[in-house]
Amino acid sequence: MSATAPPEEPRLADPVPRRGTRLRRRLRPVAGLALLGAGYWFVLRPRLLDWGTTPDEAARTLPGDDLLADPDGESTMAISIEAPPEDVWPWLRQLGQEQGGFYSYEWAENLVGLDIHNADEIVPEYQDLAVGDTVRLARADRFPDTRLEVAAFTPARSLVLRTPDDPPWWVWAFVLDPVDETTTRLVVRSRIRLPQNPAVRLASGGVLDPVTFVMTRGMLRGIRSRVEATGSTAEEVDVDVAERGGVGSRTESGVPGG
């Protein structure tokens, strides 16, 4: 008598996921993206926009704020430089695409054809400054509208740039605060006015703000490294300017006609 195998038990079909389970699985990636977006917007983004500042520096009123009193976007960034304000000022005075550049990531700026060349020394020919002067952000033949104007300045204290529009849509201020005889805080504030378009405003916060952070931090570090490496004083620059024929004679006042 041969042994017979026990009959196989019928296999149960795999349970069909409930509708709620399937929905939760589909929503997990969406929830993850939403969590990342919220973390960027409410935690990381504020830190990017106020990089390097103290609470007082971020909150205080700076020169140029009155030109765009109710901005749609604002960033205030700062850095300490081991030099008096008089040594930092000449580097600000020669800002511009056709002059000393912006001391940030030159390769990134030129990747999009801005034609920026950052100076590693104070150039007397670039030290002339007056209210209304043009400060180009990119080469004029390719980007004719990328320019700012000198709105106001106080030598060794502040420089305010603005777009030519009235009212301006962008105000860019550079402020030098002495800490002691050998240390200066360089504070840079950017204020912008955006179109009344939700998509543009969202794109600005998601794309423009990180780019602003990277390039402005690069500029602050670039200025600091140049100032601390050269140690050139304002007096030395003024002597060199005078010897070259008086270039820079308009730098005594930031008031039109002054």
Determine the pLDDT at residue 195.
81
Q: According to the 3-state scheme, what is the secondary structure of 191-241? A: EECCCCCHHHHHHHHHHHHHHHHHHHHHHHHHHHHHHHHHCCCHHHHHHHH
Determine the pLDDT at residue 252.
43
**Is 190 a residue whose pLDDT tops 80?**
yes
| Tens of pLDDT, residues 56-66 | 999 999 999 99
Average pLDDT taken over every residue of the chain? 83
Determine the pLDDT at residue 192.
94
Place of tokens 């765009």: 68
CB neighbours of residue 63 within 10 Å: 20
Whether domain 47-243 has CATH 3.30.530.20: yes
| Tens of pLDDT, residues 222-250 | 999 999 998 755 555 554 544 444 444 44
Determine the pLDDT at residue 194.
86
Q: Which amino acid is at 143?
A: F
Average pLDDT, stretch 177-206? 86
**Is 131 a residue whose pLDDT tops 90?**
yes
Determine the pLDDT at residue 213.
92
41-55, 66-80, 236-250: the lowest-pLDDT one: 236-250
pTM: 0.78
Q: Which amino acid is at 241?
A: V
User: 53: part of which helix (H) or strand (E)?
Assistant: none
Q: How far apart are CA 87 and CA 108, in angstroms?
A: 27
Q: CB neighbours of 30 closer than 8 A, spacing ≥ 6?
A: none
Determine the pLDDT at residue 47.
81
Share of the chain above pLDDT 90, in %: 61
Determine the pLDDT at residue 256.
38
Tokens standing for 140?
């004029």
**Is 161 a residue whose pLDDT tops 60?**
yes
Determine the pLDDT at residue 198.
73
Q: What is the DSSP string of 59-72?
A: HS--TTGGGGSS-S
CB neighbours of residue 203 within 10 Å: 12
Average pLDDT, stretch 5-31? 61
Task: Return the closest-CA partner of residue 207 out of 94, 215, 54, 247.
Answer: 215
Q: How far apart are CA 67 and CA 19, in angstroms?
A: 57
Determine the pLDDT at residue 208.
82
Average pLDDT, stretch 193-203? 76
Query: Which band of pLDDT confidence, cut at 50, 70 and 90, is reported for residue 48?
Result: confident
**Is 139 a residue whose pLDDT tops 80?**
yes
